[in-house]
Structures are given as C-alpha cells and as structure tokens.
Amino acid sequence: MPDPLRTLLQEWEIKPTANVAFAARVWRRIAERSHPLRWRRRISDVLGMPVPAATVVMVAVLAGFVAGEVWRRHHAAQERDAGLAAYVLAVDPIARTAALEP
C-alpha cells in the first residue's frame, strides 16, 4: 500500500512567481561591479555637484600655491648660497686659492 505522505510530497511542486526584470537587473549589477572605470564615473558624479566641485578646485589651487612657494624658497636658498660662495671667493684670497686646487 502506497504511503499517502510520500504520494503527496511527490505531487507537491513549488511555482515561483515570474519576475521578468530579474535577469536584466542581475546583469546590470554585475556590469556595474566589474566595470573597470567605475571610480571615474563616481568621480564625475561627485564633481557634477557644485559644492564638491568647488572644494576640489580650491584644494587644487591651494596645493599649487604651496608647491610654488616650496619651489621658490628652495631656489632662493640655492641662489643665496651660490651668491655667498661667489662673494667669499671674490674677497678671500685663501678661499680662492683653495678653490683652484684640484
């Protein structure tokens, strides 16, 4: 005699509701996550807003000013040292003699 529970379980079937856009959404999310230039798109999205864009511009200008000032001070110190060395060679005969020796 067949077991009624076994027969009922064999007849039982799950019928999920069909979601038409599911596969398209899955592939879109995969494409978004594997996109090699995703960070560029995010940067362009952020820079499209006024406040972050202005902040980035201000930081870039400030970094330029700081880099220019560091460069100017470095070259001014080099020129000052070269000028002092030239002055010492012009005034001090011992230094001039020492500079000519190999």
Q: Note the pLDDT tens digit of each residue in 67-82.
A: 999 999 999 999 999 9
What is the mean pLDDT of the segment spanning 34-57? 77
**Cβ contacts of residue 16 below 8 Å, gap of 6+?**
none
For the chain, the average pLDDT equals 84
Closest residue by Cα to residue 86 from 97, 75, 96:
96
Per-residue model confidence (pLDDT) at position 59: 95
Q: Note the pLDDT tens digit of each residue in 21-37.
A: 888 888 888 777 766 66
**CA distances in angstroms from 69 to 76, 79, 81, 96, listed in the order given:** 10, 15, 18, 34
Domain borders along the chain are: 19-48, 50-102
